[in-house]
Amino acid sequence: SQQGEEDPQALSIQEGENATMNCSYKTSINNLQWYRQNSGRGLVHLILIRSNEREKHSGRLRVTLDTSKKSSSLLITASRAADTASYFCATDGGSRSRLTFGEGTQLTVNP
């Protein structure tokens, strides 16, 4: 079964607005990653945050991690129609191999 839960399940915004997605997980982790999946395609790695980090930026992406609450958030600023996709958080659960994914947030950015 999936380890994490993502919130919201679906999010619809207008181009230019910010989008925030949240992820919760259950076990201890070494790191947490966010991936994007366009409809019916493979996943693309977006950003990684290690368990000893609290915040990380990459372009229009900002990720936060609160290990005490076992939660993370992904903020996409100044969204574009091309950001329309499903976003998944993935944790390693302390493993150095397998990833455990959440159920994902479906983001729709309307032009």
Partner 1 sequence: DTGVSQNPRHKITKRGQNVTFRCDPISEHNRLYWYRQTLGQGPEFLTYFQNEAQLEKSRLLSDRFSAERPKGSFSTLEIQRTEQGDSAMYLCASSLAGTVEQYFGPGTRLTVT
What residues make contact with partner 1 under the rule CB under 8 A? 2, 4, 30-31, 33, 35, 40-45, 48, 88, 90, 92, 96-104
Q: Smallest distance from the beta carbon of 108 to partner 1, in angstroms?
A: 15
Nearer to partner 1, 88 or 107 (CB): 88
Q: Which two tokens stand for residue 108?
A: 């729709």
Q: Strand 10-14 relative to strand 105-110: parallel, antiparallel, unpaired?
A: parallel
Residue keyed to tokens 């076992």: 70
Considering only CA atoms, which of 111, 70, 56, 63 is closest in space to residue 87? Answer: 63
Identity of the residue, 92 or 109, whose beta carbon is nearer to partner 1 in the bound complex: 92
